[in-house]
Amino acid sequence: MRVSRITGFLYRRAENLLALMLAVMFLAFIAQIVFRYVLNLPIGGTLELTVVMWLWLVLWGAALVLREDEEIRFDLLFGSVGPRARGVMAAITALALLALYVFSLPAVVDYVTFMKVQKTAYMKIRFDYLFSIYLIFVVAVICRYAWILWKALRLVGRPHDAPATRSEG
């Protein structure tokens, strides 16, 4: 019970940060419009901030806020087979994605740490700070698909007559 309360609290804080990023992006967008078209004084920092917030918003949301059942998928084949076949398909997909992300992780770390040598044009944000969200995303995806693989293997290993529960499917 305590773990679910803690994870629920952390999930809500991740949602709060996501909403804050969206608000910052929106305000920077409005400021860009006002400065460019009302005051005739174009500034690049607002455009840069909007792009940075968009990058972080998408990857933060995909890594920490978006739940598995909220992802958009084309699952005609997946939905047309039985629970054990779905488990096998989920396991194969999870293994493939785990292999891809785990294999790419060292190169991602190298690239992100290498990018400390460059900064953004207007706000002078180091690119390693800017791209660090991708590291968070990759680690979250690895954890998510390890969990999916574990659930899928449990589903495949269940006897034929055992019903699947909603939390396992």
pTM score, two decimals?
0.81
Judged against a pLDDT cut of 50, whether residue 169 lies above it is answered with no
Question: Do 52 and 82 share a domain, yes or no?
Answer: no
Overall domain count for the chain? 2
Question: Do 168 and 100 share a domain, yes or no?
Answer: yes
Q: Which of 66, 93, 109 is the last residue of a domain?
A: 66
Q: Which of 66, 96, 111 is the last residue of a domain?
A: 66
Q: Containing domain of residue 61, as a range?
A: 1-66
Per-residue pLDDT at 78: 80
Q: How far, in Å, CA of 150 to CA of 141, rounded? A: 14
Q: Are 49 and 123 in contact (CB under 8 A)?
A: yes
Q: Which of 66, 95, 119 is the last residue of a domain?
A: 66
Read off the pLDDT of residues 27-52 as tens digits, 9 standing for 90 and up.
999 999 999 999 998 888 899 999 99
